[in-house]
Structure 1
């Protein structure tokens, strides 16, 4: 087979690469939903003091505004499989874990959100480790 033909053959992604792509795209959809939820909270679509920016306590304002911007940004990066997508998601996850894990008296208890972020981080780390091992074996 000539070099020209070999360069035109598609390279199939490994199962780990495919799983990582699916994980990132799934998390991207969740990030988009969370971003929209924060925007709904900021714009005041629902009645209540915690559902309108001008009536929110300062600590909610300080948390909701950056997350309303960063979650959709993370969703775009994760969907495009860009290298900065997981980094932005990690910032959002760390913020929510800090909010709901360390300050439940202010933000409430949301164990499901904390568990989701922990599971996603673990799955991402395991898949990246498996990809690293696979590439090391292929290089040897």
Structure 2
């Protein structure tokens, strides 16, 4: 009973995190599309005025962000994989090339933190399922466990 409640809580927290992250990632994807379309003025807000490195990253992230958002909203496993690619890409952009993309900011921190929380929730869920399975097997292996009580 206690294990079932913990499992349900873990699942609910995972779904809430995925839905919240999915909504935010889809919105950030829209921001990248605004950059491509060039609605705002400024060197990094118009695709035709961006340096090549920014063009490559903006075009890639404009596709990856909404795809990850939809995948996370649906709580599909591929949504988390795309999110991992986004976190890795943005980490490389801002940590390896800060002179081009700038220092890591709040969005990178929130992306990485949210993704780490998803990993923690999935690991806890895996551990709980493994623990429940091992308890079930040890209970079934006891002598007399197959008799109705």
TM-score normalized by the length of structure 1:
0.86
User: How many equivalent residue pairs?
Assistant: 130
Q: 2:125 aligns with which of 124, 131, 136?
A: 131
Q: Which residue does the alignment assign to 1:55?
A: 49
Give the match for residue 147 of structure 2: none
- Please report the RMSD computed on the Cα atoms of aligned residues, expressed in angstroms: 1.6
Picking from 34, 37, 41, the partner of 1:40 is: 34
How far apart are the structure 2 equivalents of 1:54 and 1:27? 30
2:116 & 2:76 partners in 1: Cα distance?
Answer: 19
Name which one, 1 or 2, has greater alpha-carbon Rg.
2
Q: Deviations over 1:4-41 (max 9, x none)?
A: xxxxxxx9861111111111111101101110110011
Q: Assess if the C-alpha contact under 8 Å between 1:44 and 1:52 holds in 2.
A: yes
CA–CA separation in structure 1 for the residues paired with 2:115 and 2:68: 14
Name structure 1 gaps, 5 residues minimum.
1-10
1:107 paired with 2:104, answer no
Contact 2:83–2:115 at 8 Å: present in 1 too? Answer: no
Q: Give the 3-state SS of the residue equivalent to 2:77 in structure 1.
A: coil
